[in-house]
Structure 1
Amino acid sequence: MAIPTDAARPQREVLTWQGFGDATRELARSISDSGWMPDLVIAVARGGLLPAGALAYALDVKAMGTMNVEFYTGIGQTLPEPQLLPPLMDVSSVVGRKVLVVDDVADSGRTLKMVMELLCEHGLSLDGSHAVPVEARSAVLYTKRHSVISPDYSWRETGLWISFPWSCRPPVTAEDGAAPKD
């Protein structure tokens, strides 16, 4: 298999692990400086898991949750609409809390928009029938110019595809030569 030359590769925004640490610290500073502090951080999985954890630590927020959403199936490939996936977050103790929703990027913005609309219009469901209204804001590392939503907090804007340190390599498989687990 031929490795593409630099000229054949599309230009990308590359975020290193060190850059990720610096970016989340700067993003946390902008959230803190705004005077609004969350009580709960919700990660939009999978891309928002690491940024949400880093922001929660930087903002000293211990309460965290996850909303599992599938939209991108490959580079530039998406499902027709973002889809919530199980398991659903237990929200039994969020009454009256401020919620920060975190994702890695607002690319099309459709995933973040769906999550924010769910939270702001319907609240968080306690038991599937009763919803608690919440005050929610959003934070991302990157925003694309064509995003349908403007996050409340964003570290950087870019028009490029982004290589994140946690997703820049293909998944590990048994075909890679790894011994299968028994």
Structure 2
Amino acid sequence: MFGDISSATKIDEIKFKNIAFPNDPIHYIAPTYDDMNHITFLLAKQMRANGITADRIVTLAKGGWPMTRSLVDFTKIKEVASIGVKFYQKLNQRYEVPKIYQDLPVSVKGESVILFDDVADTGKSLVYVKDYLLKAGVKQVTTVTLFYKSHSVIKPDFYGPTTAAWIVFPYESRESFSFFQRKWTKEGLSNEEIDSRMKQFGARQAWLDEYRLFS
């Protein structure tokens, strides 16, 4: 099925429509909030079927934040903590050792946790934080992501659709616009052409006008 995934009963039934543009080798997908809510539901269902329980959800900032609330709802796991890790000081200036810029606000020693993020892309953040949690005394870490890319250095314990596409998330609309506005302007596209493409990602004209006004 393409486009509407609401009737999918299994992760492997979900197929997103590829978005492609002339002279652009990259293919994109643009899941909606409702799409990701349904994927979260299916992941929670999978975990329940496999007997997975946890004391807490640890969500990776910032990608894990939006759907963590749904995961809390579907799993009935009420305790949540967030952790943030970064690998770069500035563009192309990589830290020798990744930096925790937002540490856990509570002790997780002795707990079983679900480590949650929106996508396993390189997978390096998941690997680093999983190791960090185990060193902090966590008893068991179950890794869960909404999407998975096969080049990731880690395959999560539970994951949503596998894709090689560039994922344009709805909660990164302004950030995506800023990136693509610069990229496509350099490639000679007009504002109207850029807006037409952004609308295929789910952006609204009022948003684009506002983004451009204050970019």
* Normalised TM-score (structure 1): 0.77
CA radius of gyration, larger in: 2
Ranges in structure 1 where 5+ consecutive residues have no aligned partner? 124-131
Kept after mapping to 2: 8 A contact 1:46/1:69: no
Q: Output the aligned Cα RMSD.
A: 2.7
Kept after mapping to 1: 8 A contact 2:57/2:79: yes
What is residue 97 of structure 1 aligned with on the other side?
111
Kept after mapping to 1: 8 A contact 2:121/2:151: yes
Kept after mapping to 2: 8 A contact 1:23/1:141: yes
Pair 1:167-2:172 in alignment:
yes
Deviation at 1:54, TM superposition (A): 1.5
Deviation at 1:12, TM superposition (A): 0.7
Q: Provide the identity percentage.
A: 27
Pair 1:6-2:11 in alignment:
no
Describe the SS at the equivalent of 2:128: helix
**Kindly tell me: are residues 50 and 80 of structure 1, through their superposed partners in 2, closer, same or farther at Cα, counting changes over 3 Å?**
same
Correspondences of 1:143-182 after superposition (within 5 Å): 143-170=148-175, 176-177=212-213
Correspondences of 1:130-149 after superposition (within 5 Å): 132-149=137-154
- Across the two proteins, how many residue pairs are aligned to each other? 160
1:40 and 1:55 map into 2 onto residues whose CA distance is: 11
Could you say which structure has the greater relative contact order, defined with CA pairs below 8 angstroms and 6 or more residues apart? 1
* Normalised TM-score (structure 2): 0.66
1:6 and 1:56 map into 2 onto residues whose CA distance is: 37
What is residue 204 of structure 2 aligned with on the other side?
none
Per residue, is there more helix in 1 or in 2? 2
**Kindly tell me: are residues 162 and 78 of structure 1, through their superposed partners in 2, closer, same or farther at Cα, counting changes over 3 Å?**
farther
Structure 1 ranges of 4+ moved more than 6 A? none
What is residue 43 of structure 1 aligned with on the other side?
59
Per residue, is there more strand in 1 or in 2? 1
